[in-house]
Structure 1
Amino acid sequence: MRPTPRAETFPVNTPAASQVFTTVLSQGPLPRLEVARRVGLSPAAVTKAVRPLIEAGYLVEGVDEEARPALGRPANLVRVDGGRALFIGVKVTGDEIIGVLTDLCCRIRVARHLPLPGRDPRTVLAGIAELTRKLLAETNGSTAPVLGLGIAVSGDVDRAEGTVRYSPFLEWRDVPLAELAAMTTGLPVTVDNDVRALTVAEQWFGAGVGLSDFAVVTVGAGIGCGLVVHGRVDAGAHGVAGEIGHVTVDPAGPLCHCGNRGCVEAIAGEAAILRQIREATGELPDAEAALALAREGVAAARDVYARAGEAIGRGIATVANLLGPERVIISGEGLAAYDLFAEQIRDAFVAAAFGSAAQCDVRTHPLPFDEWARGAAATAIQSFIGPDTSR
């Protein structure tokens, strides 16, 4: 195992420099003039921001040989040196911990999964520490420092405090996870809601690059939503913005664990789908068997998935009506059933979206759990660069 990584701070701490760096990180390589245009700064201001980043090795500048023009002087492009630093991202689920080691550009170098024998904080912390040790030992001879650890957990998470206020799946309340994990691993730690972490990764490195307003809707054990409003991931005043899983779409519908009836999650969450199929068919399937029943043409099972699609479509329409995003990205492990409810999602969305909100670009982006851990690493990168890049 490598020794505990040394502390290192980002070489600049001005909002302008952070903006320049994140623009190059997510949209580069770019010529300086194009960076200036995209961030709305003067070329002189960009040059001032870029200089210390180049000196510290975070940015490099040179000719892109692949894009060299046939005629004329080739433009120098600024890009991030991904190998300059490493980060660890961890996603905690109900039964396992997924960890990834990424470079500064959030490219996964190593991914590891660790079974979780229990959900109490002590057991989870021990698992995070073990997984972190394994990832630190697999840096493959890189001399780049590991500069942060991001942890993604479902539920109500206060990122600023590093506290898990309430996680229904883990049955946690008021756990100071960032503080505890930092003491255990020796790394700077960022803790965030798992859907918001995934949204950060989509904003900087995925289907949301270049968009100022979009949403990520996740379908699986729960129904989550991450929001980017005016270029920032928005958690709202109380940290729970985007909870479309608890938007009521059927007041006479099934009881949700939150205490209300007819929430999107109470109809379309994995546990809700399995319960409804068991009630309708008398069988006791797991997720894989439930999918098989529906695909074999069992009408009762297909109806359950159809209702789930309608609920998801109405939830997405609520987001579109309230915020008017340019794009809604649907992701999560629940997309394994997308062929069974895609039509219902689309039809319900179009029916419930008001006016031009129906023109919102709704697309799917299936992502394995490794990508959720990558989202956690993205939050660690974000925290390292500076607080102005977070929300």
Structure 2
Amino acid sequence: MPLRPHRPLPLATPAGVEVLTKILTQGPIPRVEIARRTGLSQAAVTKAVAPLIESGFVTDQATTPPGAELGIGRPVSPLTVVPSSVSVIGVKVTPTSLIGVTTDFTAGILNVRHDELTGTDPEAVIDRLVDLVKALIGDLKNGDAVAGPLAGVGIAVSGDVDATHGEVRDSPLMGWRAVPVADLVRQRIRLPIVVTNDVRALTVAEHWFGVGVNADSFAVVTIGSGIGCGLYINGEVVSGAYGVSGELGHLPLAPGDLVCTCGRRGCVETVASSDAILARTRETTGKKDLDLAGAIKLAHEGNAHAREAFDRAGEVIGAALAAMVNLVGPELVVIAGEGVAEYDLYEERMRQAFAEHAFGAAGGCTLMLRSHTFDDWARGAAATVIRSYVRGEPPLQR
């Protein structure tokens, strides 16, 4: 089937944006409940919803409340987003692969494609990324599912990302500096392109479609080859004045003689990343050919050197979590990423260190494990496009 052209949302006022956001993130939801949660009048809600229903983005299908068959209560018409009204593409960039997904308007994954990389040269990676996006667009055109208009493409990359200009300013994991990703992709794919930090994208997905939907504040901490942190505080995912925030992996809490991939000394990542744990285990066991799976196996078998590497990582991660919670006070911290596979090896020491360093009531913050695959990271990139599309933010401004 042909892919329908992009179309703007019929949202003329901030109230309309707020209403659609509530329907998208908390629906199905009745009009009266939207009014209660937003403080808008029911008339204002109805006015905002009417063009969304007329244009096919939202539907109100009446349901029968309990007791209605006995003449008790009135039919309820909850509002819900039509998932197939919009399509979005999200891509997660790693040093070894590209992970692409297509989602509907609710960030439900429709299709997935992976492409292995042989290097991180920016031009070569962008070439492969463009090919991946074109393949996903082809899947949308030829798939059996009903595909909505393609709103845009989200690209998630680790490091310091200038989301306003779509530039990766500094990504130590990729070895990129000042790479204008959005411009390079837009030259070959005429679609809105949103480029963002990967952990922040994952946080947006949790805020709009995950554990953060009803949370007043939360943090997402990712543990793997790098250590990142996304923050949702005061009603918004924090970007920071300079586009940098939540860099938990670069807090100077490790020994000062350890040099980080960012070039600085004593960063949390020098002890607590999966690469650092593997390097420490190789060093102390003398097993230079050991891989991460082997290090995990040794630790589970009780090898003292391997256990020490994980204990040391847990100590530093726990102290870093306490520092973050002491500063910003989230009610929930979600621990995610590929590094959670060995979570049991450092969880006890991490929680001990967190309890030792968390100040007062901050120690009551909930630490929750949530496994994420790379597909979820790509879904986060798509979620950033959905958010920009609803809000009318660049490059999806109305």
What TM-score do the two structures reach when normalised by structure 1?
Answer: 0.95
Note if 1:361 corresponds to 2:360: no
Alignment of 1:133-282 (within 5 A): 133-139=134-140, 140-141=143-144, 142-252=146-256, 254-282=258-286
Aligned residues of 1:63 and 1:74 also touching (Cα < 8 A): yes
State the shift of 1:143 in Å.
4.6
- SS of aligned partner of 1:378: helix
Moved more, 379-388 or 263-272: 379-388
State the shift of 1:13 in Å.
4.3
Name the residue aligned to 1:19. Answer: 18
Deviations 1:10-55 (A, max 9, x none): 2214322112111111111111111111122222221222111111
Note if 1:6 corresponds to 2:15: no
Aligned residues of 1:125 and 1:184 also touching (Cα < 8 A): no
Aligned residues of 1:15 and 1:388 also touching (Cα < 8 A): no
In the alignment, residue 163 of structure 1 is paired with which amino acid? E
* Distance of 1:117 and 1:109 partners within structure 2: 27
State the shift of 1:208 in Å.
1.0
* Distance of 1:193 and 1:187 partners within structure 2: 20
Stretches of structure 2 that go unaligned for 5 or more consecutive residues are none
* Distance of 2:182 and 2:13 partners within structure 1: 25
Alignment of 1:65-144 (within 5 A): 68-70=66-68, 71-139=72-140, 140-141=143-144, 142-144=146-148
Moved over 4 A (4+): 67-70, 387-390
Stretches of structure 1 that go unaligned for 5 or more consecutive residues are none
Deviations 1:349-381 (A, max 9, x none): 111110000111110111110000000000111
Deviations 1:117-152 (A, max 9, x none): 221222111111111122122221435211111000
* Distance of 2:66 and 2:58 partners within structure 1: 20
In the alignment, residue 322 of structure 2 is paired with which amino acid? A
Deviations 1:268-293 (A, max 9, x none): 01111111111110013111111111
- SS of aligned partner of 1:203: helix
Query: CA, structure 1 residues 167+69, in 2 after alignment: closer, same or farther (shift >3 Å)?
Result: farther
Query: CA, structure 1 residues 348+64, in 2 after alignment: closer, same or farther (shift >3 Å)?
Result: farther
What TM-score do the two structures reach when normalised by structure 2?
Answer: 0.93
Name the residue aligned to 2:329. Answer: 324
* Distance of 2:390 and 2:45 partners within structure 1: 16
State the shift of 1:251 in Å.
4.5
Q: How many residues align?
A: 388
In the alignment, residue 380 of structure 1 is paired with which amino acid? V
* Distance of 2:62 and 2:253 partners within structure 1: 54
Aligned residues of 2:56 and 2:82 also touching (Cα < 8 A): yes
Percent identity over paired residues: 48
